[in-house]
Chains A and B, each alone.
Chain A
């Protein structure tokens, strides 16, 4: 399998269909993502963007009814959410969950050690971890005071999103999916979050950036832009597509979908 990695893509989504409570949300998504690439998925509300993110992370409230997802040569749908995380899939949540009674610092260490344990690496003790964490925190300009507070509890919207990027920086995933990380952020917070992501960009790492607005893409410049409408990717292009969408709105695309074939990169 390691031999194959050179040739295969990081992620291949083929004809993915998914339901929520018998309602079909994804209706045949195709997407190929290679290492080092940043893909943006845009689309109107209710088009299935968040569903796609949750399916990739393994949320069991969504049922995949057809299609497959190949991640680094393996069937992603056969893997539990924790196994996906350990194998390098990371989802930055649109709505990060509050966890009373668990300090942010403990949570990050438990997560990192779970991933390290999976990779047969030594667990970090509290002191080494703290050193590593402080260095990672600079990426998102996060206040140290948040470390001793319960995960996301009482965090502002911006702090929650920065905490998501911090987790990404700590876990060092191969595939990072960002679900509307820009929603609810003021321009300063947006810049910090985007800077953080840009520092984490590398040739070995791929990003799927889900957003409703083009604004974020001024900061995180994508290699590819895909438009998801009614459960399908109906148009793909480069970063100029995002600007076109911003100017002309989604209805322009929705009218075109009847005639145009979706293009996978």
Chain B
């Protein structure tokens, strides 16, 4: 049997081979960051269910799978194969990645305001851009997070988005990660979004699969918002039902910035999202919304951590879960209010709909409040479909199946309504409907 120690050793060995393999020249500051991250990971190893933060998510199957790096040839995927995932033909800004590698032939960068950069992170690293140097690997918090450490040790590919001071990017920037591998492969996508003072942006992080392969996407995304930034981030997980997706989203917000982020999880065998938001400046506000819709033996774990460092900061979290068959969900929402951070307004809600007796949800709020003038609320519900509502719908001629689907869809719909991009929302609505019995009867609901 392979032990975790063996696996971490193997990782260290791979690292030695891999470190020199990135495209182009690397800035001198990067290597120490990677080495420190690897040391961190080697020390820590993969988490087990004995770790409090991983109590309900067992990653043994992942740790025991031998993953290889994917074939770097991205050209085997044609534009036609990914058309259904795109959000507009030819007129959107999209960076497309195939098994973690940038696919130039599939990407489009439409006209962007002056100074806005949307580019392959490898190129941004090679060019040693100041915004990368100043912000890379500062917000994900690898300290207690083995997977973020592993990503930081191996990463070098992904998206770099820079919105300079005052710039408005109205159309969403689409980061599309396509997986299409038969063999177990691993990728460490790394995204960095740097928004300058008073700028506005919309970014979509979209993970899709062309087939039902086994692979592991180990993602880190960092979002740094300067004063008065208004930003919208939407992440959609439509991985293969045999895939592993483990991700850390680190959001860092300065004074009076507003960030909203949605995490929509529809695919993947095992999914874990660590969403860490730091409100570092008076008037900063974040909205974190999410939906996980699971069936079969899918497992999805959302760990949120919102840290109120400054007074007069506010946060809203609203995650909904729909769990069918033997699926399992975990929601853990930690709200931290630092000493002296008065006049905080934080609200957390987690609602779950269980469609099967064998589905499971573990939901846990954690409040650490070290200030005394604070408004902090949390609420979690777990329930079945309301039978009174089913009868009401049936008494109006709607079949029982369609009534159940309609109520389930309505529950999901309240989360999907948060997705700003109309085209993406339409894709997601159709996807949710396609999972419901008689869902085709409900088309046109939106």
**Which A residues are within 8 Å of any B CB, using their own CB?**
57-59, 80-82, 84-86, 90-91, 93, 96-102, 106-107, 110-111, 114-115, 118, 126, 150, 167, 171
Do residues B395 and A110 form an inter-chain contact, with CB atoms below 8 A?
A: no
Do residues B414 and A100 form an inter-chain contact, with CB atoms below 8 A?
A: yes
> What are 25 pairs between A and B in contact, CB < 8 Å?
A57-B395, A80-B394, A81-B391, A82-B395, A82-B397, A85-B397, A91-B395, A93-B392, A97-B389, A98-B389, A99-B392, A100-B410, A100-B411, A101-B410, A101-B411, A101-B413, A101-B414, A102-B410, A110-B402, A110-B406, A110-B441, A114-B399, A114-B402, A118-B397, A167-B396
Please name all residues of chain B whose beta carbon is closer than 8 Å to the beta carbon of A58 when the two chains form the complex: 394-395
Bound-complex Cα distance A150 to B407 (A): 12
Bound-complex Cα distance A91 to B398 (A): 14
Please name all residues of chain B whose beta carbon is closer than 8 Å to the beta carbon of A171 when the two chains form the complex: 396-397
Bound-complex Cα distance A85 to B393 (A): 10
Bound-complex Cα distance A114 to B395 (A): 11
Residue on B with the closest CB to A91? B395
Minimum C-beta distance from B245 to chain A (A): 27
Please name all residues of chain A whose beta carbon is closer than 8 Å to the beta carbon of B394 when the two chains form the complex: 58, 80-82, 85
Minimum C-beta distance from A106 to chain B (A): 6
Please name all residues of chain A whose beta carbon is closer than 8 Å to the beta carbon of B413 when the two chains form the complex: 101
Bound-complex Cα distance A132 to B93 (A): 43
Please name all residues of chain B whose beta carbon is closer than 8 Å to the beta carbon of A90 when the two chains form the complex: 395
Confirm or deny: B368 has a beta carbon within 8 angstroms of a beta carbon on chain A: no
Confirm or deny: B400 has a beta carbon within 8 angstroms of a beta carbon on chain A: yes
Please name all residues of chain B whose beta carbon is closer than 8 Å to the beta carbon of A101 when the two chains form the complex: 407, 409-411, 413-414
Bound-complex Cα distance A101 to B413 (A): 7
Contact with A along B378-419 (1 / 0, CB 8 A): 000000001011011111111110100011011101100000
Contact with A along B416-446 (1 / 0, CB 8 A): 0000000000000000000000000110110
Minimum C-beta distance from B223 to chain A (A): 29
Bound-complex Cα distance A111 to B399 (A): 10
Please name all residues of chain B whose beta carbon is closer than 8 Å to the beta carbon of A86 when the two chains form the complex: 397
Residue on B with the closest CB to A83? B397
Do residues A85 and B395 form an inter-chain contact, with CB atoms below 8 A?
A: yes
Tell me the B43-101 residues at the A interface (CB within 8 Å). none
Residue on A with the closest CB to B442? A110
Minimum C-beta distance from B79 to chain A (A): 33
Minimum C-beta distance from B445 to chain A (A): 6
Residue on B with the closest CB to A89? B395
Minimum C-beta distance from B284 to chain A (A): 30
Do residues A85 and B389 form an inter-chain contact, with CB atoms below 8 A?
A: no
Bound-complex Cα distance A100 to B320 (A): 14
Bound-complex Cα distance A26 to B397 (A): 26
The listed residue (B389, B414, B445) touching A106 by CB distance below 8 A is: B445
Beyond A106-B445, A110-B406, A126-B444, whether A97 also contacts B392 by CB under 8 A is yes
Please name all residues of chain A whose beta carbon is closer than 8 Å to the beta carbon of B406 when the two chains form the complex: 102, 110
Do residues B396 and A111 form an inter-chain contact, with CB atoms below 8 A?
A: yes
Please name all residues of chain B whose beta carbon is closer than 8 Å to the beta carbon of A57 when the two chains form the complex: 391, 395
The listed residue (B386, B444, B445) touching A97 by CB distance below 8 A is: B386
Minimum C-beta distance from B158 to chain A (A): 35
Do residues A111 and B410 form an inter-chain contact, with CB atoms below 8 A?
A: no
Bound-complex Cα distance A167 to B397 (A): 11
Minimum C-beta distance from B175 to chain A (A): 29
Bound-complex Cα distance A106 to B407 (A): 12
**Which B residues are within 8 Å of any A CB, using their own CB?**
386, 388-389, 391-400, 402, 406-407, 409-411, 413-414, 441-442, 444-445
Residue on B with the closest CB to A92? B395
Minimum C-beta distance from B390 to chain A (A): 9
Please name all residues of chain A whose beta carbon is closer than 8 Å to the beta carbon of B411 when the two chains form the complex: 100-101
Number of A-B residue pairs having CB atoms within 8 Å of each other in the complex: 76
The listed residue (A59, A85, A100, A106) touching B396 by CB distance below 8 A is: A85
The listed residue (B410, B442, B444) touching A99 by CB distance below 8 A is: B410
Do residues B396 and A99 form an inter-chain contact, with CB atoms below 8 A?
A: no
Minimum C-beta distance from A26 to chain B (A): 19
Bound-complex Cα distance A154 to B121 (A): 49
Beyond A99-B407, A101-B411, whether A59 also contacts B391 by CB under 8 A is yes
Please name all residues of chain A whose beta carbon is closer than 8 Å to the beta carbon of B392 when the two chains form the complex: 93, 96-97, 99
Please name all residues of chain B whose beta carbon is closer than 8 Å to the beta carbon of A114 when the two chains form the complex: 396-399, 402
Please name all residues of chain A whose beta carbon is closer than 8 Å to the beta carbon of B386 when the two chains form the complex: 97
Bound-complex Cα distance A77 to B328 (A): 40
Do residues B397 and A115 form an inter-chain contact, with CB atoms below 8 A?
A: yes
Do residues B414 and A110 form an inter-chain contact, with CB atoms below 8 A?
A: no
Bound-complex Cα distance A167 to B393 (A): 11
Please name all residues of chain A whose beta carbon is closer than 8 Å to the beta carbon of B399 when the two chains form the complex: 82, 114
Please name all residues of chain A whose beta carbon is closer than 8 Å to the beta carbon of B407 when the two chains form the complex: 99, 101-102
Bound-complex Cα distance A128 to B441 (A): 18
Minimum C-beta distance from A76 to chain B (A): 13
Residue on B with the closest CB to A100? B410
Residue on B with the closest CB to A112? B397
Most B CB within 10 A of own CB, among A91, A100, A110: A110
Residue on A with the closest CB to B391? A59
Minimum C-beta distance from B397 to chain A (A): 4
Minimum C-beta distance from B404 to chain A (A): 12
Bound-complex Cα distance A227 to B407 (A): 38
Residue on B with the closest CB to A87? B397
Bound-complex Cα distance A85 to B395 (A): 6
Minimum C-beta distance from A221 to chain B (A): 26
Residue on A with the closest CB to B399? A82
Bound-complex Cα distance A115 to B397 (A): 6
Bound-complex Cα distance A222 to B129 (A): 83
Residue on B with the closest CB to A114? B397
Please name all residues of chain B whose beta carbon is closer than 8 Å to the beta carbon of A85 when the two chains form the complex: 394-397
Bound-complex Cα distance A110 to B396 (A): 9
Beyond A97-B386, A102-B406, whether A111 also contacts B445 by CB under 8 A is no
Bound-complex Cα distance A53 to B386 (A): 20
Beyond A85-B394, A101-B411, A102-B406, whether A80 also contacts B445 by CB under 8 A is no
A100-B410, A106-B445, A110-B398 known; 8 new pairs, CB 8 Å cut-off, are A57-B395, A59-B391, A82-B395, A97-B392, A98-B389, A101-B409, A102-B407, A110-B406
Residue on B with the closest CB to A108? B396
Bound-complex Cα distance A105 to B376 (A): 36
Please name all residues of chain B whose beta carbon is closer than 8 Å to the beta carbon of A106 when the two chains form the complex: 444-445
Residue on A with the closest CB to B411? A101
Minimum C-beta distance from A178 to chain B (A): 13
Do residues B398 and A82 form an inter-chain contact, with CB atoms below 8 A?
A: yes
